[in-house]
Amino acid sequence: MIDIRFLRENPEVVKENIKKKFQDQKLPLVDEVIGLDKQYRAAITEADGLRADRNRLSKQIGGLMAKGRKEEAEAVKKQVAESAKRLEELEALEEELQKKVTDIMMVIPNIIDADVPIGKDDSENVELKRFGEPKVPDFEIPYHTEIMERLAGVDMDGARRVAGNGFYYLIGDIARLHSSILSYARDFMIGRGFTYVVPPFMIRSDVAKGVMSFSEMDAMMYKIEGEDLYLIGTSEHSMIGRFIDQIVPEESLPITLTSYSPCFRKEKGAHGIEERGVYRIHQFEKQEMIVVCKPEESREWFWKLLQNTVDFFRTLDIPVRTLECCSGDLADLKVKSVDVEAWSPRQKKYFEVGSCSNLSDAQARRLKIRVNGEKGKYFAHTLNNTVVAPPRMLIAFLENNLNDDGSVNIPEVLRPYMGGQEKLEVPGRK
């Protein structure tokens, strides 16, 4: 959510930003909110004037009564009563107008960074850089669930019987590999100076509305029946929500956190839930990184967070590339976002495994996360990035480490988490 003062003073800038995001249907909202804001401020001015008059008249009443001028005092009392009725009306009007202004401001997109490429959708995202040499082996790479099945490591049919499409059982060495990757990711981020956190896996609606747009909330989140609670779609939500209505001391910034959580997503409006695969699913686990910082430091932190994910994947010998999201592919709260994509030897192309985002002060403004600094209070900037999100990441891992006999190499950095194993072997094969 952008600052109403900025919109009031720069309506054409806000409109141009809406056009860059190809959301022309929102253009009338700018003039509408300006009009409502004008009424709101006029109501406040009138109410403040009535309160001042009430205080002045109340003193007059006391003076008149003291002098025995009861009739004059009663006339002033009547005037105060009429003002009280109008003040009550104005206070109700203030509340109504403020809600209307806030509701509209919540759907007007954040101002994107000047260097964000302009494009309508993800087909116009821009590749930034590649890391590692993509390789395609001279043997055929099976579909990822076939690799897992040969290693006795997945049961999709059983999960479908229990919960439907979009769920899975990971078994044996594959399940251990999954947990090992998360444990390694945790330690990798701790080694980079981040504090490890296990957050709540549910959040209230006021937090959900603070960390994401309404459209994202509707498409992603599962509501708990009969309670004001939602299952998180990513730990970013509860991690940032931790600071709701808080005033953070400036000397404590930057706050750098890395969190583990399961994630739950409806995937409403997405490309569909695969019956065979674990790429797009309703439930997965993730290691995340979060930063709360000063506004002038958020751009530098953005690139640091992105590099953390690139470095993590490269320690596992997985080639990756970074892809900047164009204006039309940016969620409304984001000012900049870059996806990390891993190489798939089977498909001979890259696919998304994480996303790094700078939300400037949008989440902080919605959640009232302020910093107490030398020059007064201001809204913090918040950033988030995926360290790793298996089992999706397992697809890239298995394909890039597969041998022609069906075994899978374990990179050296993971072996301590796998009991020293150097390979995953196909059961019964020597």
Q: Are residues 319 and 175 in the same domain?
A: yes
Q: What share of the chain is helix, strand, coil (3-state, %, to 5)?
A: 45, 20, 30
Q: What one-character-per-residue DSSP string does 263-313 give? A: EE---TTSS---SS-SSS-SEEEEEEEEEEE-GGGHHHHHHHHHHHHHHHH
> Please, how many CA atoms are within 13 Å of residue 319, restricted to the half-sphere of its CB?
15
280 band by pLDDT with thresholds 50, 70 and 90: confident
Q: What is the number of other CB atoms lying within 10 angstroms of the CB of residue 68?
A: 9
Question: Higher model confidence: residue 275 or residue 213?
Answer: 213
Q: Are residues 208 and 310 in the same domain?
A: yes
Structural domain includes residue 116 = no
Q: Are residues 76 and 204 in the same domain?
A: no
267 band by pLDDT with thresholds 50, 70 and 90: confident
Q: Tell me the two tokens of residue 20.
A: 């860059």
Angle CA 271–272–275, to nearest 5: 140
Angle CA 251–114–216, to nearest 5: 75
Q: Are residues 413 and 367 in the same domain?
A: yes
| pLDDT for residue 424 | 96
| pLDDT for residue 66 | 66
Query: Is 224's pLDDT higher than 70?
Result: yes
Q: Tell me the two tokens of residue 397.
A: 């891992």
| pLDDT for residue 73 | 67
3-state secondary structure of 183: helix
Q: Tell me the two tokens of residue 410.
A: 């374990």
Structural domain includes residue 177 = yes
Please state whether beta strands 376-379 and 381-388 pair in parallel, antiparallel, or not at all (unpaired).
Answer: unpaired
User: CATH number for the domain including 51?
Assistant: 1.10.287.40
Q: Are residues 78 and 151 in the same domain?
A: no
Q: Are residues 100 and 131 in the same domain?
A: no
Q: Tell me the two tokens of residue 166.
A: 């979009």
Query: Is 277's pLDDT higher than 90?
Result: no
| pLDDT for residue 62 | 67
Q: Tell me the two tokens of residue 302.
A: 């953005």
268 band by pLDDT with thresholds 50, 70 and 90: low
Mean pLDDT value of segment 4-31: 97
Each residue of 197-208: b (16+ CB within 10 Å) or e? bebbebbbeebb
Structural domain includes residue 87 = yes
| pLDDT for residue 48 | 86
How many folded domains does the chain comprise? 2
Q: What is the number of other CB atoms lying within 10 angstroms of the CB of residue 417?
A: 18
Return the amino acid letter for 31.
D
Q: Are residues 145 and 58 in the same domain?
A: no
Could you say which of 105, 137, 160 is where a domain stops? 105
Q: What are phi and psi of 320, to 5 degrees?
A: -135, 165
52 band by pLDDT with thresholds 50, 70 and 90: confident
Distance between CA atoms of 299 and 332, rounded to whole angstroms? 18
pTM for this prediction: 0.89
The DSSP symbol for 138 reads: S
Structural domain includes residue 383 = yes
Structural domain includes residue 319 = yes
pLDDT digit string (tens) for 337-364?
999 999 999 999 999 999 999 999 999 9
Could you say which of 77, 105, 133 is where a domain stops? 105
User: CATH number for the domain including 412?
Assistant: 3.30.930.10
The alpha carbon of residue 69 and the mean position of all alpha carbons in its chain are separated, in whole angstroms, by: 66
Structural domain includes residue 135 = yes
pLDDT digit string (tens) for 287-333?
999 999 999 999 999 999 999 999 999 999 999 999 999 999 999 99
Check: CB of residue 354 under 8 Å from CB of residue 384: no
Mean pLDDT value of segment 135-151: 96
Query: Is 198's pLDDT higher than 60?
Result: yes
Could you say which of 105, 133, 162 is where a domain stops? 105
Q: Are residues 258 and 394 in the same domain?
A: yes
Structural domain includes residue 25 = yes
Mean pLDDT value of segment 164-169: 92
Distance between CA atoms of 59 and 84, rounded to whole angstroms? 16
Distance between CA atoms of 169 and 278, rounded to whole angstroms? 10
Q: Are residues 325 and 284 in the same domain?
A: yes
Mean pLDDT value of segment 186-207: 97
Q: Are residues 134 and 45 in the same domain?
A: no
| pLDDT for residue 274 | 58
64 band by pLDDT with thresholds 50, 70 and 90: low
Burial class (CB in 10 A: 0-12, 13-18, 19+), 301: buried
CA dihedral 420, 288, 162, 266 (to 10 degrees): -160
| pLDDT for residue 273 | 58
Which of 158, 283, 277 shows the shortest CA–CA distance to 222? 283
Q: Are residues 159 and 246 in the same domain?
A: yes
Which of 318, 360, 310, 354 shows the shortest CA–CA distance to 335? 360
| pLDDT for residue 272 | 54
Distance between CA atoms of 429 and 173, rounded to whole angstroms? 15
Q: Where are the beta strands (DSSP E) in 93-181?
A: 126-131, 154-155, 169-170
| pLDDT for residue 86 | 82
Please give the mean pLDDT across all residues of the chain. Answer: 92
Least confident of 1-5, 214-218, 401-405: 214-218
| pLDDT for residue 59 | 66
Burial class (CB in 10 A: 0-12, 13-18, 19+), 357: buried
Distance between CA atoms of 375 and 372, rounded to whole angstroms? 8
Angle CA 176–178–183, to nearest 5: 90
Which of 263, 219, 239 shows the shortest CA–CA distance to 383? 239
Share of the chain above pLDDT 70, in %: 95
Q: Are residues 89 and 231 in the same domain?
A: no
Q: What is the number of other CB atoms lying within 10 angstroms of the CB of residue 404?
A: 10
Which of 159, 175, 158, 155 shows the shortest CA–CA distance to 167? 159
Domain of residue 329 covers 122-424
The DSSP symbol for 22 reads: T
Q: Tell me the two tokens of residue 307.
A: 């590099």
Structural domain includes residue 313 = yes
